[in-house]
Amino acid sequence: MDKNTEIKLVGQPIIKQLLNLVDRTSFKRLVADHQSDRYYKSFKSWTQFVTMMFGIFSRCDSMSELCEGMRGMQGKLNHLGLEKSPAKSSAGDGLRNRDSSFFESLYYDLTKRYHSFLSDSQTYGLTIKELFIVDSTTIRLFTDILKGVGRNPKNDGKKKGGLKVHMLIDAHQSTVRFVKITEAKMHDKQFLKHLELPEFSTIVFDKAYNHYKQFAKWTSNNIHFVTRQKSNAVYRVVETIVDTAGIKNKAMVYRVQIIEIDFKENEEVKTLKLKRVCYRDEKNRHFVFISNHLDLDANEIALIYKKRWGIELLFKKMKQNFQLHYFYGENENAIRTQVWCTLIAQLLLTVIQKKIKTQKAFSAVATLIRIHLISMLDLIELLKSTNRSWLKKHPEQMPDLFSS
């Protein structure tokens, strides 16, 4: 007998099934640690968290839309631990004033809880045990609050501005370890000084973050990095280890050198020794990488930089599947809170996707949950079922496109 693949009804809406992934005991402990309910009589931390999750999963564009949407599900709010839908003024005040560090701690608590589900096979083949990736993404909004970046474009074009979200992610788990939100005009390399990295760890980033003084500090602290060399970099070749012509249309390292780069620190000229790796991919594109890990194999240096695309995928997921074009509040704390809550939403979807081993893409999972957010459907059955398996169970329902 064929397995029954019909989607079953359950006693809880899908949003409640997702929120069940958040341990309430741990949540209450964080509330006590941060005293985040101290000045709130009705709009408690859990109420704000549920409100933000509803808005993010349903992709509401404003606080008004969010609160009106929750008002329409009054009969199901008891499932979420709420007595009534929040007022727009209360939700706005909570977003502005409740410290975003509470939601930051909640995110990290969830990453620890679901550590086993978050291991990423994309880092297989590396000998590096602790690998971190740094990058930033610019979100266009609030140019009058957070200044834009770059020059004003010609032909009345819009300036790319608003805020810049800098992230440090754990490459082995694809989870965020540190976030800093700045004005979009801040140069990327200024973000590096805020990082606290463990000894013997490795960090990878693009050439926009090149900062020789910071590189020297990391080297003295046994912290390694991999990045691309700028085309206008001035350096001296100390030793050439490998120098070959290479093979066309074959990915390979064709030159490896030990170089020295001079930089100034407190008006004193200092020298930094680095390994320079020239690499050509299958499309005959040339890349030049530099690293202070002089003993690391050149091919692994190239592979480490390739893993940097993991953070690009994270940004892509955030921007395509969640609402980061419109923010529910206009001060920095509100923006920071929404970013952390978006990361929590993405984490919960990643956990459920990996937990049930669905073949659906992350975007398909996010879309299904958005459409059926308050439906009383079994979330696991919804994500596991396919149109093909349903038609196999109910062949009589297959439409005849050629019938008259």
Between 118 and 147, whose confidence is greater? 118
Measured distance CA(217)–CA(175) in Å, rounded: 26
Measured distance CA(296)–CA(400) in Å, rounded: 62
Close Cβ partners of 160 (under 8 Å, ≥ 6 residues apart): 138, 140, 148, 149, 150, 184
Q: What mean pLDDT value characterizes the chain? A: 82
Burial, 103: exposed, middle or buried (Cβ in 10 Å; 0-12, 13-18, 19+)? buried
- Percent of the chain whose predicted confidence (pLDDT) is above 90: 35
Model confidence at 173: pLDDT above 60: yes
Q: Look at the chain and count its residues.
A: 404
Strand order through the sheet with 162-170: 175-183, 162-170, 131-140, 202-204, 224-228, 286-291, 268-280, 252-265, 236-243
Among 178, 161, 160, 181, CA closest to 169: 178
| The predicted structure's pLDDT at residue 227 | 94
| The predicted structure's pLDDT at residue 341 | 93
Measured distance CA(242)–CA(279) in Å, rounded: 11
| The predicted structure's pLDDT at residue 345 | 93
Low-confidence winner among 46-60, 68-82, 130-144 (lowest mean pLDDT): 130-144
Tell me the pLDDT band of 382, cut-offs 50, 70 and 90. confident
Read off the pLDDT of residues 284-336 as tens digits, 9 standing for 90 and up: 899 999 999 999 999 999 989 988 877 777 777 777 888 777 788 878 888 88
Instruction: Count other C-beta atoms under 10 Å from residue 257's C-beta.
Output: 21
